[in-house]
Structure 1
Amino acid sequence: MPVNIQVSSTPNENALKFTLDKPALESGHKTYPNAEAAAESPVATALFGIDGVVSVFLMADFITVTKRPDVGWDVIQPAAEGAIQKAYE
């Protein structure tokens, strides 16, 4: 069953919050500042595969993705939603 995702803005214009209808992480929280650090997380690894993503934060039922200021959300948001969907299939 596909995961339902709600996207909302954050106080940081370069970050979006993707809220899931299932746990993003079993417990605690994880911050991934780069692709190398994200190697343990399939969803974070997939998100770092999107050009312009600079950090990924997972906690409870949401994922926050932060991008470079020079890359638009029109490119990153659909790719991020697709990566999250695929990671939680």
Structure 2
Amino acid sequence: MYVILVYDIGEERVGKMLKLCRRYLNWIQNSVFEGEISEVKLKELQFLAKSIMVLSYDSIVIFKSRNEKWLQKEIIGKEKNELDIFL
């Protein structure tokens, strides 16, 4: 599946969450990640994220799609992290 993950987390935990999300998804810009991920890997990411979070304060929003082709992405301004993949 294709996901977009956005988090809003306390400043003292941002570094840990950034490192965790980068292990599973592509960093797009501050607190925003996207990419293909299996259901199992997504559950693993969610489990590990909950161990970093203060659930009464922090939040994660995950948008899911079966495939990236069903999403239209428009970038206005400079793209923070281009996802060019060279084979």
Query: Shared fold by TM > 0.5?
Result: no
- Point out the structure with the larger helix share: 2
Which TM-score tier does this pair reach, normalised by the shorter chain? 0.3 to 0.5
Greater radius of gyration (CA): 2
